[in-house]
Structure 1
Amino acid sequence: MRAFPLILSACLLAACGTTPAVRYYTLGSEGPAGAAAPASGPSLVVGPVGVPAAIDRLLIVRQVDGVRAEVAEGHRWAAPLKTEIARRVAVELARSTGNGRIVAWPQGSIVEPDMTLPIDVQRFEAEGFERVTLEAVWTLRKAGKDLASGRFAATESVTQPGWDGLAAAHGRLVTALARDVARAIP
């Protein structure tokens, strides 16, 4: 009978243990913020962005080998990945084109934009902690007509250790995607 209270106490103490802290990541932005781009030029809404179902979650996913993936319980995107991609592309396009009328969908307040930029991410995979690959198809549309379209594919090495480095490599790839799209904007 004396063992029962001891076991119960041990279980209660174990339940009070701390859980590991959850770390949140964004796709960031490279370089200093600088001055805001002027609100001139054609309005452009980046999005919607489609992503594969396997990564359409807040938890960061990385490939362990050819068929296994690891979902990182303690490492999460701060916002849904498709929202983060639209935001990062919009920020980079505004910066590179000098057009302050570029916003991310669905947050964009432009009801009838001059142009839209839907992006279909076909692959956005972290391979271990070594590299990240992004493959996406994008179309720049104006008044329902396609102005330009492209296919982007690139791989970025993870240059910092751990999850911070993995998130940074994801961000650099999205920046490269934005630079690819920027060449097509009139």
Structure 2
Amino acid sequence: MSTRIKTILCPVSLTAASKIVLMAAFREAWAHDAKVHILHVIPSFDAAMAMPIAAFIGEEKFAHLMEEKKDETRALLQHKIKDLRDHILQERDRYTEEMIATINVIDGDPVIQILNMADALKPDMLVIGTHAKGFTEHTIMGRVATRVLKRIRVPCLVVPPVNQQD
């Protein structure tokens, strides 16, 4: 296994924590002269939900609405990345857009899609955030991060949530 880090996979959830996760990925990219592949997964409707909606509004319209949602999410992600880049560039001039290899917005099960992307890209590192919600907020990691970390076979940087009360 190579110890050089040239490719970083960074799944983000578009929550407030995404900024910190992306910042960590960019810092690692700068330190190792690596490229970052950013991934956002839109959770799919399960068949029990999607079929009645598609039947009610029509399959074609449902597919169109899902594509619109992907486009909106991609635009939001690109806007967040631009804001983050502007914020970083105020602090340091060493971060550049060339660090971003790809921005991927796909739908499906987040855990499966992150693992599929890792299989396809063969990254040297995964930078993933944690953001437990509700009654699980006091656990160490969120559900997606925990399930990904159990199955992925590359070095991982786990970025904890920012405590809003501190």
- Do these two structures clear the TM 0.5 threshold for a shared fold by scoring above it? no
The structure number with the bigger radius of gyration is 1
Relative contact order (alpha carbons < 8 A, sep ≥ 6): 1 or 2 greater?
2
Larger proportion of strand: 1
Larger proportion of helix: 2
